[in-house]
């Protein structure tokens, strides 16, 4: 366990302490896993009617696991330094014996017979699962409004979205209903909701965390990422699950460094780039003001900031919305009513059954993306659309490689706006897609990035996120910068960081 001083005071209610603070209390035998879990379940139940984060809770199982963790602490046979700390999973991670729906009617009744690698590694560390959390259907969305089971709500303003697609996870963490959670990020689906809900969200380097048991949306873009109320917690959770997995062919066979080692060494002398192409219009004034304050704070901490040009980034959204739907078209072809999931029972033959199953089982956004992807891959259009999008992806990778020859990290807003109202963008898919304009290029390149809160917008009092983008496999530098910024801002764990529920 790290010896760094924790923030805030250990007298904070259990539901508002960070996962690391809870772990220190367990290690010191000042807290019990059962008391922690019971307090967090109580908070979770209190906020659930407001935020609607859960698709499936496993609270009774969590309390049983907490009792087992207490027994391990009493015998000094703990599984990890965070043994007994609760967490939750976006309902896209396969969980043995617990329904995994992907927010879709087509998987509403599916009970998996195995665990995702992320789940098995966290269980192996003794973490107790509180359940499965809401998301845009098959992770396709930026607001959680595309869930077949209804939207989640932002605890800062329940008339607003929590972001997406990991909106249920972001909302529950922000509301004190769980100290940390696992989401997934295909085009910003961890970082954007983290920004809108005022928490920390990490997209690791592609291949750093196994995708085995993560139900696929776009296989070359999907990556699991931690969501937490502090940078230290996010680094600790990533540490538990990162590393090579032979069950995932895209898993990187590289040793994982200790993300917490040296996290408090500061950023004096660090070179940070500001993306010229992100400085134009489209960013809400309150967001721009807070992000510019964050830039000045980074300079005060000893970093040097300079403008860099990444010309390919302006084409990132266009390329993404060809590549991701094309991969979705392929991945979602398996949901045909034959093997598992929902099946339309009244069709006369297998062709009609499959067609009606997909028509009834998928929501509008999933259908939109599958049709777009199928068209982009069709004969005569492949090179004109999908092929060109892949060339843009290569340009983005090359632009980033050039940039990192002169800077250590790149910084930008996470989202161009704060949380928007429920229903505000549902009739305009393009406006919804532009919510991810600052995050999508990172997924196309496969780099690591983090969103860290930088305060509340003066426009509407809602959270604003700062994005730090690192070279591939350099999460350590990213965490060090985010930690320094977070500590200097003094946001994590303070009363200001708690939504007014």
Task: Indicate which residues carry an active-site annotation.
Answer: 90, 165, 189
Rg (CA), the chain: 21
**Cβ neighbours of residue 244 under 8 Å, at least 6 residues apart?**
251, 252, 253, 254
**Cβ neighbours of residue 175 under 8 Å, at least 6 residues apart?**
43, 47, 50, 51, 53, 155, 499, 501
- 17 close to 10: Cβ distance less than 8 angstroms: yes
In the numeric block, which tokens belong to residue 293? Answer: 């304050």
* Strand arrangement of the beta sheet that strand 180-184 belongs to: 54-57, 128-133, 86-90, 180-184, 224-228, 200-203, 448-456, 463-470, 409-413, 271-275, 304-308
Q: What is the DSSP string of 96-149?
A: TTB---TT-GGGTT---SS--HHHHHHHHTTPEEEEEE--SGGG--SSSTT-TT
> What's the CA gap between 144 and 153, in Å, rounded?
8
C-alpha 183: how far from its chain's center? 4
In the numeric block, which tokens belong to residue 229? Answer: 């109320």
């Amino acid at each position: 366990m790290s010896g760094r001083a924790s923030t805030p005071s250990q007298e904070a209610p259990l539901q508002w302490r960070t996962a690391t603070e809870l772990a220190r209390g367990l290690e010191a035998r000042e807290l019990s896993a059962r008391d922690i879990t019971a307090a967090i379940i109580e908070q979770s139940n209190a906020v659930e009617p407001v935020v609607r984060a859960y698709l499936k809770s496993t609270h009774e199982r969590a309390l049983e696991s907490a009792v087992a963790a207490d027994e391990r602490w009493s015998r000094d046979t703990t599984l990890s330094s965070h043994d007994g700390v609760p967490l939750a999973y976006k309902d896209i991670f396969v969980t043995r014996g617990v329904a995994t729906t992907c927010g879709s009617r087509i998987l509403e009744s599916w009970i998996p017979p195995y665990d995702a690698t992320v789940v098995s590694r966290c269980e192996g560390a003794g973490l107790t699962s509180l359940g499965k959390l809401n998301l845009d259907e098959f992770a396709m969305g930026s607001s959680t409004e595309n869930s077949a089971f209804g939207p989640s709500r932002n605890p800062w303003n329940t008339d607003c979205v929590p972001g997406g697609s990991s909106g249920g996870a972001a909302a529950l963490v922000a509301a004190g209903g769980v100290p940390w959670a696992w989401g997934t990020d295909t085009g910003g689906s961890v970082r954007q909701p983290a920004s809108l809900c005022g928490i920390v969200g990490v997209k690791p380097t592609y291949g750093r965390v196994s995708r085995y048991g993560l139900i696929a949306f776009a296989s070359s873009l999907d990556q699991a990422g931690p969501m937490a109320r502090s940078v230290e917690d996010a680094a600790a959770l990533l540490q538990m699950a990162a590393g090579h997995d032979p069950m995932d062919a895209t898993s990187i066979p590289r040793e994982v460094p200790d993300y917490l080692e040296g996290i408090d060494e500061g950023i004096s002398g660090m070179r940070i780039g500001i993306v010229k192409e992100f400085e134009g219009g489209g960013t809400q004034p309150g967001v721009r003001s807070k992000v510019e304050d964050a830039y000045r704070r980074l300079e005060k901490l000893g970093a040097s900031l300079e403008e860099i040009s990444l010309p390919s980034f302006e084409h990132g959204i266009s390329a993404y919305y060809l590549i991701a739907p094309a991969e979705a078209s392929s991945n979602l072809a398996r949901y045909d009513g034959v093997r598992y999931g929902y099946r339309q029972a009244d069709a006369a033959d297998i062709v009609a059954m499959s067609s009606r199953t997909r028509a009834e089982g998928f929501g509008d956004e999933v259908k939109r993306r599958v049709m777009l992807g199928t068209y982009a891959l069709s004969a005569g259009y492949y090179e004109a659309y999908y092929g060109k999008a892949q060339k843009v992806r290569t340009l983005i990778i090359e632009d980033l490689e050039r940039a990192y020859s002169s800077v250590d990290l790149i910084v930008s807003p996470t989202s161009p706006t704060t949380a928007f109202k429920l229903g505000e963008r549902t009739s305009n898919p393009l406006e919804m897609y532009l919510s991810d304009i600052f995050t999508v290029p990172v997924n196309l390149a496969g780099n690591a990035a983090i969103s860290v809160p930088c305060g509340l917008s003066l426009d509407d009092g809602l959270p604003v996120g700062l994005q730090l983008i690192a070279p591939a496999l350099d999460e350590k530098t990213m965490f060090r910068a985010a930690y320094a910024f977070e500590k200097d801002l003094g946001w994590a764990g303070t009363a200001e960081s708690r939504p007014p529920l």
